[in-house]
Amino acid sequence: MINATITGRLGKDPELKETKKGGQMLRFNVASDQGWGDQKSTNWIGCVVFGKRAEVLERILEKGTFVIVRGEFTTRTDAETGRTFFDLKCDDVELGPRTRPEANPYGDQGNSSDIPF
């Protein structure tokens, strides 16, 4: 069993699929950079989440979302090509910091000097 923690951004919107047993599976790729300058390279890590968590994350995650994923590496073989792929079966998915400023979800509440504490 190989466990890993990966940080990075989603390369595209995640895909929600139904498994053969009728459960839900969410598949997405995380771009994880290493190095810097001319030596910088990007690794693409395939991630998969199952069950109710997959349904919830499908509504939250989108291309560019920064995530921290933890889980166990698993292998799968493509039936058509015979190629073997490594995926991270995620036990934990956290949203990282957002870099874009967002509108205040509570509306304009006045200036901070109005806060009584």
pLDDT of residue 107: 52
Q: pLDDT grade, residue 102 (50/70/90)?
A: low
Burial of 47 (0-12, 13-18, 19+ CB in 10 A): buried
Q: What is the mean pLDDT of the chain?
A: 86
Distance of alpha carbon 97 from alpha carbon 104, whole angstroms: 16
Distance of alpha carbon 107 from alpha carbon 19, whole angstroms: 41
Does residue 114 carry a pLDDT above 70?
Answer: no
Q: Tell me the HSE value of 74 on the side-chain side, using a 13 A CA sphere.
A: 12
Least confident window among 66-70, 77-81, 109-113: 109-113
pLDDT tens for each residue of 37-47? 889 899 899 99
Q: Whats the size of the chain, residue-wise?
A: 117
Does residue 76 carry a pLDDT above 60?
Answer: yes
Does domain 3-99 fall under CATH 3.20.20.70? My reply is: no
Burial of 26 (0-12, 13-18, 19+ CB in 10 A): buried
